[in-house]
Amino acid sequence: MLADTAKAMQRVCFDSEPSEADLELLGSRERWLVYRSLVRTRLVGVIEAALPRTKAAIGHESLGRIIDEWLSTGGPRTRYFRNVPNELANFAIPMWRDTAEPWIADLARYEITSWSVRHAPPNRISDAAFSFEVRPVVATAVAVLRLDHRVNETPTPEDGYERDPVILCIHRNQEHRASHLVLNPLAADLLEAWQRGDETVSESVHRVAATHDTQISPAFIEKLSTLITTFIHRGILLGGHAPPS
């Protein structure tokens, strides 16, 4: 039956070690090991393209072991080749948090977030200019990332990164590359509120400022204007939608 054949192919390609029974079922041990190699080489290639610094930090063999472990859970669920590294990262980052140097998981999160932003969907269309009365529209290729280590700073130090928390806005720039801005906690909360888009700008500014015990003073307004200008200039903030009447 074709279903049995397909399952045997899956096990041969993704199990830690292909079983002799499956290889016999499929009919040619040598040639099905060729398929196993072709399938795995392609997947490893795209993962290494997405996580080059993580690979350099933990080593080729260590990355290979965790890819093997992930594949042995059955293989990628995504039909999109570009999303294969995201599935590996979702599997590996919790493990790296527990077993690797403390900054490795942050580095992998930074790299996979940058990869995701590069390949994010096209922007939604806003139907109004940005103002305090609209619900803001933020570009799709924007992510707020809270890190315990400044792994965005390169090159990677010989002894790794010391703990030094930072919040980044990672976004797709005009050249379609991932770029980042360092945000303070209030700006990060504002941007996340604007990404949700369920409040007007005015509502979100008042709520977030109150959460941070911050007065809406002239100095605050000036900083907020600078932030908004930067976001608009970088294509992070696209405009807005008029709130429902």
User: Can you give the binding site for other proteins, defined by CB under 8 A?
Assistant: 1-3, 5-7, 9-10, 13-14, 26-28, 31-32, 34-35, 38-39, 42-43, 74-82, 84, 118-123, 140-141, 172, 176
Judged by beta carbon, residue 26 or residue 128, the one nearer other proteins is: 26
Is the link from the previous residue into 155 a cis peptide, with omega within 30 of 0?
yes
Structure tokens, 134: 């609209």
- Would you state the structure tokens that stand for residue 120, as one six-digit string? 């994010």
- For residue 18, the minimal CB distance to other proteins (Å) is 13
Closest contact distance (angstroms) between CB of 82 and other proteins is 7
Least separation in angstroms between residue 39's CB and other proteins is 5
Min separation Cβ 192 and other proteins, Å? 20
**Shortest spacing between CB 74 and other proteins, in angstroms:** 5
Q: Give whichever of 140 and 195 is closer to other proteins, judged by the CB atom.
A: 140
Residues 11 and 172: their CA atoms lie apart, in Å, by 38
Per the listing, tokens 């940058």 go with 114
The residue among 147 and 169 lying less far from other proteins, judged by its C-beta, is 169
Would you say 7 or 212 has its CB closer to other proteins? 7
SS3 state of residue 28: coil
Our CB check for other proteins shows the closer of 70 and 161 to be 70
Nearer to other proteins, 28 or 229 (CB): 28
d(CA 127, CA 97): 42
Helix (H, G, I), strand (E, B) or coil at 128: strand
Alpha-carbon span 33 to 152, nearest angstrom: 40
Nearest to 230 by CA among 199, 190, 196, 197: 190
Work out the number of other CB atoms within 10 angstroms of the CB of residue 133.
13
Distance CA 211, CA 188 (A): 13
What minimum distance in Å lies between the beta carbon of 156 and other proteins? Answer: 26
Partners of 123 in the β-ladder: none
Residue 83 Cβ vs other proteins, minimum distance, rounded to whole Å: 10
Q: Which among 144, 14, 13, 114 is positioned nearest to 54, based on CA atoms?
A: 114
**Nearest CB to other proteins, comparing residues 160 and 235:** 235
